[in-house]
Amino acid sequence: MLDAYSASPNFLTIGHVTKDLHPDGTFSLGGTVTFAALAAYRLGLVPTIVTSADADLLSCLPSLLSPAIPVQAILSTETSAFVNVYAQGFRTQYLRARASTIQPDHIPTAWRDLPVVLLGPLAQELTPQILSVFPRRPGRILAATPQGWLRRWDADGRVWPTPWLDAEQVLPQLDVLILSHDDLLPFANGSRTEADAILNAWSKRVPLLVATDGRHGATLYQQGVPASFPAYPAHEVDPTGAGDVFAASFLAHLYQHGDPAQATNFANCAASFSVEQPGISGIPTPAQVAQRLRPLS
């Protein structure tokens, strides 16, 4: 365990921290847990992380992330590492290394009852059995971003889409599912209409589903009923992590205020900041969001 935070934690995120590799041999710290924990921290929550990585990364993680965010670290021989190549709005991704799988017994007992839990798999590192640690109960928000369950990789490490075979098992155990509309296009023959049909079907199995769609904004489904929320204008520099910032911002606002529609609008605003600077440097503060936030009509 790394440095403990003085206040009681209220936000747990689980998944691999990653190295996002650059052509010059350097890397940026990445991963859903990284972006989500930092966003939650800057928005006033007290986050914790359960992850897996190698000893070298774990030794410098407090300085790369924040010493104020406690981490339960499972030592692995490797840290998950990705190469992301963007061209014409599309990403080609390669997995160069993968850390070990995170098991249910890796979750500290003291963190199993926190009010907000976000499962953020990136490379199939979480199995459905992880849900056994978090039975649904009133007062807790159990959420997931399923992108890591929608990926496979070939012998060269290139990442390809794969169907989420455990969706029917996992969805009824969640309170919130947050994903990108683009994650579903490969399973819908590139058709937005067919992707919408998948979202509609999934939304009937989970109380809240939020689908982000870049410049098109986001769609919130409440018990299967959709509502659209426009995006905020932004000058895109680096889209990496924007969906994770959206997810954490949505959950933070939902936990603090209890209104899914307001939370979606807030998260759209927060995500607009995250694309305007590279990596984690774009994660906004509450004051920044408040200046740009538009009231819902």
Q: Which two tokens stand for residue 231?
A: 């995006």
Q: Quote the pLDDT of residue 4.
A: 42
Q: Quote the pLDDT of residue 3.
A: 40
Q: Quote the pLDDT of residue 2.
A: 38
Which residues of the chain are modeled with pLDDT < 70?
1-6, 88-89, 237-240, 278-279
Q: Which fold has domain 11-288?
A: UDP-N-acetylmuramoyl-L-alanine:D-glutamate ligase (3.40.1190)
Inter-residue contact 125 to 119 (CB < 8 Å): no
Q: Is the dihedral of CA 2, 283, 152, 56 positive or negative?
A: negative
Q: Quick one: three-class SS letters along the chain?
A: CCCCCCCCCCEEEECCCEEEECCCCCEEEECHHHHHHHHHHHCCCCEEEEEEECHHHHHHHHHHCCCCCCEEEEECCCCEEEEEEEECCEEEEEEEECCCCCCHHHCCHHHCCCCEEEECCCCCCCCHHHHHHCCCCCCCEEEECHHHHCEEECCCCEEEECCCCCHHHHHHHCCEEEEEHHHHHHHCCCCHHHHHHHHHHHHCCCCEEEEECHHHCEEEEECCEEEEECCCCCCCCCCCCHHHHHHHHHHHHHHHHCCHHHHHHHHHHHHHHHCCCCHHHHCCCHHHHHHHCCCCC
Q: Quote the pLDDT of residue 278.
A: 67
Backbone φ and ψ for 80, nearest 5 degrees, come out as -60, 130
Instruction: Indicate the pTM of the whole model.
Output: 0.92
Q: Quote the pLDDT of residue 5.
A: 43
Give me the residue spans of the domains in the chain.
11-288
